[in-house]
Amino acid sequence: MAPPLEDHQMEEEEQRPLLTRALHRSATNNTSQVAMVGSNPCPIESLDYEIIENDLFDQNWRTRSKVDQVRYVVLKWTFCFAIGVLTGIVGFVINLAVENVSGFKHGAVSALMESTSYWTAFWLFAGSNLVFLLFASSITAFVSPAAGGSGIPEVKAYLNGVDAPNIFSMRTLAVKIAGNIAAVSSSLHVGKAGPMVHTGACIAAIFGQGGSRKYGLTCRWLRYFKNDRDRRDLVTIGAGAGVAAAFRAPVGGVLFALESLSSWWRSALIWRSFFTTAVVAVVLRLFIELCGTGRCGMFGKGGLIMYDVSTIFDDLMTYHLKDIPIVILIGVTGALLGGLYNFLMMKVLRVYNMINEKGGAHKLMLAATVSILTSCCVFGLPWLAPCRPCPTNGSPDGTCHALNRFRRFHCPPGHYNDLASLFLNINDDAIRNLYSTGTSDVYHPGSMIIFFVASYGLGVLSYGVVAPSGLFVPIILTGATYGRLVAMLLGSHSGLDHGLVAILGSASFLGGTIRMTVSVCVIILELTNNLLLLPLVMLVLLISKTVADSFNSSIYDLILQLKGLPHLDGHAEPYMRQLTVGDVVAGPLRSFNGVEKVGNIVHILRTTGHHAFPVVDEPPFSPAPVLYGLVLRAHLLVLLKKREFLPAPERYPKEYVAAGRFLAEDFDKRGSGKQDTIADVQLPSEEMEMYVDLHPFTNTSPYTVVETMSLAKALVLFREVGLRHLLVVPKACDRSPVVGILTRHDFMPEHILGLHPVLLGSRWKRLRWQKGVVAKYFRSLLVWITNSG
């Protein structure tokens, strides 16, 4: 128990304003560097985009000719072309497989329903869904857990500088493709757009591995890409290509990568990304034309426009000034629904994570439970909908099965079930039905209410299953249903076509959940092929995003936080301006001399997990201790393996490096998951007593900050340059030449607030409504109403 005097001092300290309180550093801080990647926890590391300058790499750059530079540029554009071709092919194969597998399943169910074999139809439907989802969950849980989910949070974290094992491996790519086909074909309320982003990023990352020595698939040219900077650019391009393949929206793909994923962007990267998405569009167009002759089974016909609403009923795609209040209402309501959707999604994902942590059997049981629940809803709810006669513009034989892919279900000939037409279809066909113009009397309001509630609830419950699954398409579908429902409720008060309002509903719900504006606007325009929608879509997106940001973050940012991925935001928290870098730098600091004993290097590498160490020159190599630079752990391992040691503490001769004893390619960064470890180094005792000169391999120009710099300013430098290590140097000259090293972990709020809990009250609120604030205003409203009465 603290003495009374200390209690009194603590109470006085708590009553002082935050900006004037003394900073009491916590004794310990136990924040973790393990995150959920896919469906499994695993250790994470940071990427290093800094250009290393030392004697060895300077020598390598001086020896490169003009031919090498041209070859490097040509290879970059060649890789972009190959990424576009392969991503387009994979996107086509996924769409082809989903439409054929789902088409055969729904065709068989419809045939059984027409023959009044209702229970047989249900068991076939539920059984096939269960098999598909268990297959997707099994290969994800036991073959490649990194393939679980949409993959967009992992890609976004990677482009922010966070690396994790196997997120872009060949195994992950294969599981992502097969698992996504199976999951979407299982009638689960998930999409294929998010996994396509991860798939495109995987394809690009494989090109950035620089070949494979194990399989002999490498050459001297490919080593140019064995660095984090070029791999980051390729992954950005691949992610944009994935969006283009998913939505057939090349411009939207570029903007999606720019707005939502990338933390660094250059004009040259825009050109290459645009070229890649254009290649994707050409490849998709080629395969779509090949399928136009009926060679692709049940693959849908049509061009690059997925939900074309411009070719028919052009006169219905109009609006007037009096419709603007309705559009504003759609935006506000979409924001409220989106904020609630994100809130519920986080609650469900936390429960799912606790279940999934218990092992593979629990993962499969959860998947089976969600599959059975989904099958019961999808097959059972259409029984509540009335049978409706086919529209007058149906087919000549009196049926309407071909019109907008309507389903007869249990209805008599010449009738259709509107709920079955939405439930017993793949998501793309359901969205196409809802977007259709001139169909204001096709759906019953009760059916729209049932489908909206079911779509909203199943979307929240389906995403956390251990399988490749996306959020984008289910959100579009739910938003389109909400838009249709709003149009029905307004009735004669609005002259907007129901299909147009459905598109606006999708835009508002996307803005309320994903919180993107420019890229979503362009994707919707490319999906629908109607520029007349541009002003309304822009207005809806701006309103929905602005209102929804008052409640919580975007769904992808929330998932990043839930997974524990240390993503650095573009803004600094207010409390960071109250701290200096010296307040958060952690110790003890391990450093090396310019000429270091081999045994000391081995000991420090074995007893620490640090990835970089300051190199300090001391007498006799300098008159006083001076910071020479920063040496990486990976480079130290290469030096130990090469065993070019010195018998005495002296520097290498100047011609030692130029003689070819060390090659720059020996120090190139290897692909993800292929790093060397200190356990691979076995040295005899006599070599442990020898020395190694670190000067030629030390980065002589690392980024440094003085210890009195504000943490907010250091964060801007760290994030904008894309650093992994930031050296902190002292203000005074009579101290050690280096105080410590800042890493990504040191900028995370959990770490900072763990060291300085007194700052917890000054976190950035982003003007969001907290539960206490809402309750306060509600009580004030009740008091005002009472007093007025």
pLDDT tens, position by position, 382-393:
999 888 887 765
Q: For residue 658, report the phi and psi dihedrals to the nearest 5 degrees.
A: -70, -20
Phi, psi of 388 (to 5 degrees): -120, 140
Name the residue type at position 73. Answer: V
The 10s digit of each residue's pLDDT in 486-500 is 988 887 777 778 888
The mean pLDDT of 362-377, rounded to a whole number, is 94
Is there a contact between 207 and 241 (Cβ–Cβ < 8 Å)? no
pLDDT over 70 for what percent of the chain? 83
Cα 22 → chain centroid? 39
Phi, psi of 114 (to 5 degrees): -70, -25
Residue 218 has pLDDT above 80, yes or no: no
Q: How confident is the model at residue 403 (pLDDT cuts 50, 70, 90)?
A: very low
DSSP string, 570-630: SS--GGGGG-BGGGT--S----EESEEEHHHHHHHHHH---SEEEEEE-TTSSSS-EEEEE
Tokens 């398409």 belong to which residue?
473
767 band by pLDDT with thresholds 50, 70 and 90:
very low
Instruction: Specify the DSSP class assigned to residue 673.
Output: T
Whole-number Cα distances in Å, 419 to 9, 372, 373, 631: 67, 19, 17, 64
**Average of per-residue pLDDT across 643-671:** 75
Q: Which residue has the higher pLDDT, 463 or 322?
A: 463
Q: How far from the centroid of its chain's Cα atoms is residue 136's Cα?
A: 20
State the average pLDDT over residues 720-735. Answer: 88
| Top mean-pLDDT range of 219-223, 264-268, 540-544 | 540-544
Average pLDDT over residues 395-410: 60
The answer to whether residue 380 scores a pLDDT higher than 50 is yes
Among the residue ranges 143-147, 158-162, 302-306, 643-647, the one predicted with the least confidence is 302-306
| DSSP conformation letters of 242-289 | HHHHHHS-HHHHHHHIIIII-S---HHHHHHHHHHHHHHHHHHHHHHH
pLDDT of 404 higher than 50? no
Spell out the domains of the chain, with CATH numbers in brackets.
Answer: 68-292 (1.10.3080.10), 322-563 (1.10.3080.10), 572-585+707-788 (no CATH), 586-701 (3.10.580)
Predicted confidence (pLDDT) at residue 399 exceeds the cutoff of 60: no
Beta strands 726-729 and 704-706 are parallel
3-state DSSP call for residue 45? strand
Structure token pair of residue 659: 């003689």
Q: What single-letter DSSP state applies at residue 400?
A: -
